[in-house]
Amino acid sequence: MILVYLGCFLLILYYLYTRNYDYWESRGVPFEKPFFLFGNFYKIFSGKQHISLRIREIYNNFSSPYVGIYIFNQPNLIIRSPDVLKRILVKDFDKFVNRKVASNEAVDPIAAHTLFTSQDQVWKNLRAKISPVFTSGKMKLMLPLMKACASDFVNHLDKHNGEVIEVRETTKRYAVDIISSCAFGINSECFNDENSEILKEATKLLDFTSFVRSFSIFSFFFVPKFVDIFRLTLVDKSASDYLVNVFRTTFKERQKRNIVRNDLIDLLNNLKQNETFNDSYKFDDVKMASQAISFFTAGNDTTSVTVAFILYELALQPNIQDRLRREIREAFEKYGDFTYEAINEMKYLDMVFSETLRKYPLATFLNRKSATKYTFEETGFTVDEGVAILVPVAALHYDPKYFPNPENFDPERFSNENKHKIVPYTYLPFGDGPRNCIGQRFGTLVGKVALSYCLKDFAFEKAEATSVPLEFEPRTLFMVNKKGLYLRAVKL
């Protein structure tokens, strides 16, 4: 009898868990058949496939404007049509304001007050406040801080001239130096201190090496209820606490000594000082620290990954590297330095940067949540309130209909003659619409500064340890090669 009762209990649980599995079929939406318990993401959660490759696989199996999938037992809608994406991201943005990610101030106050996870009016208020921080004028003021870090990068390469280096680890040090300087106003000395404490903490922020951290991060994106149940945090708690303490200490010291560096701390302080009585969203210590930590978290991995992949592709195609180096040297000779104008004038550098973000997008997918029932005019299909919308960025970037021979690294896609041919809403490295990446200008400038400094005097070459082709680590959200990125750096 015990076995009978247990069997009945398990059957009831199975029914309750899988009852959503007819959701897309009952609505006439083409869908990928789910696998028991895991839905369509079994290969991801079992560590067999990177999320970008899994989404591309599903995308390529259909030709419809959208595809229904299940993440665990929750229905998600992958949008394949650029026209439909335009409605979601821009035209009818007010119906899709929020990302379907966890946002619980009681559990994780730091994450709840970042632009990435904040929702509704909190997001609108925060976006309005933070947008002035990332103007071209503010970036220009930060440029001297970036150039100092780029000089340290070049000095490090000089010490290892002719050696094979792990580029991802090297660019990580550069990125942490930059973010530490521009966000926290400190010199982290990552190239000079092998045991840099801030580098260790930065590495822990979005660490996927442990099951607990991987579970936490994936829960924020795909199972927000787990965040509430298990009281999970988006970034590592000890690393977050460390950076909050660094921010508060630096902020107090800055106020006490009246120091001005034109970095994020100064900019946040100016915003706070200029708040009025009628402001509906006011900065306090937690909210200000949240901006610094989100700036640090979003900036260090994205910068290091992008610069590393650019150097990797340039090592595989020396002709592209040589052409880029000529442009960099010409700009340097013209201006006598890597000024803001010099960097923005380099068209081929921008083409190389854009093509890298096509082939290795930082956000391989975006997600949104329908705020109400919404009918797509193109098809007449009505999506229910609360359903997760998934934007398959990497899949669009690799669709041969939009980018012929997508596996090839070809900066000419983004030349003045060709870039107008790109179909709108098929190239989304920073998202689009009101909720696009606010740090786009900063991240691009930081990457271009690094490339300008190191490519001017160094060539990067393929070595025996260089992985060709790449094999992405499946347990991360970013595209990261399993065996690292090893290249030889040679001074010219």
CA angle 100, 287, 136 (to 5 degrees): 85
CA–CA separation, 64 and 409 (whole Å): 28
Say if strands 74-79 and 388-391 run parallel, antiparallel, or are unpaired.
parallel
Could you give the 3-state DSSP secondary structure of residue 379?
coil
Give the pLDDT score at 16: 47
What is the pTM assigned to this prediction?
0.93
Q: What would the two tokens of residue 437 be?
A: 């990446």
Which residue blocks in 113-196 are alpha helix, DSSP H? 120-130, 136-159, 167-184
Give the pLDDT score at 6: 59
Residues paired with residue 383 on neighbouring β-strands, in sequence order:
374
**C-alpha pair distances (Å), 319 with each of 33, 257, 315:** 45, 51, 9
Q: What's the pLDDT tens digit per position in 214-248?
A: 888 888 888 888 888 888 888 888 888 888 888 88
Could you give the 3-state DSSP secondary structure of residue 78?
strand
Short-list 184, 209, 214, 216, CA closest to 197: 184
For the chain, report the end-to-end CA distance as a whole number of angstroms.
80
Give the pLDDT score at 132: 85
CA–CA separation, 101 and 301 (whole Å): 20
Q: What would the two tokens of residue 131 be?
A: 């947008």
**C-alpha pair distances (Å), 85 with each of 428, 432, 491:** 11, 9, 46
Q: What would the two tokens of residue 144 be?
A: 């001297």
CA angle 368, 374, 375 (to 5 degrees): 125
Give the pLDDT score at 1: 66
Domains of the chain from N-terminus onward: 2-491 (1.10.630.10)
Short-list 266, 68, 82, 61, CA closest to 181: 266
CA atoms lying within 13 Å on the CB side of residue 293: 32
Residues paired with residue 76 on neighbouring β-strands, in sequence order:
69, 388
Give the pLDDT score at 11: 52
- Cα-Cα-Cα-Cα dihedral sign, residues 87, 93, 95, 99: positive
Average pLDDT rounded to a whole number, residues 20-42 = 88
* C-beta separation of 67 from 81 below 8 A: no
Q: What's the pLDDT tens digit per position in 269-306?
A: 888 787 776 777 788 878 888 888 888 888 788 889 99
How many residues are listed for the chain in this entry?
A: 492
> pLDDT band at residue 60, thresholds of 50, 70 and 90?
very high
* C-beta separation of 310 from 454 below 8 A: no
**C-alpha pair distances (Å), 491 with each of 190, 460, 488:** 21, 9, 10
User: Which H or E run contains 436?
Assistant: none
* C-beta separation of 389 from 421 below 8 A: no
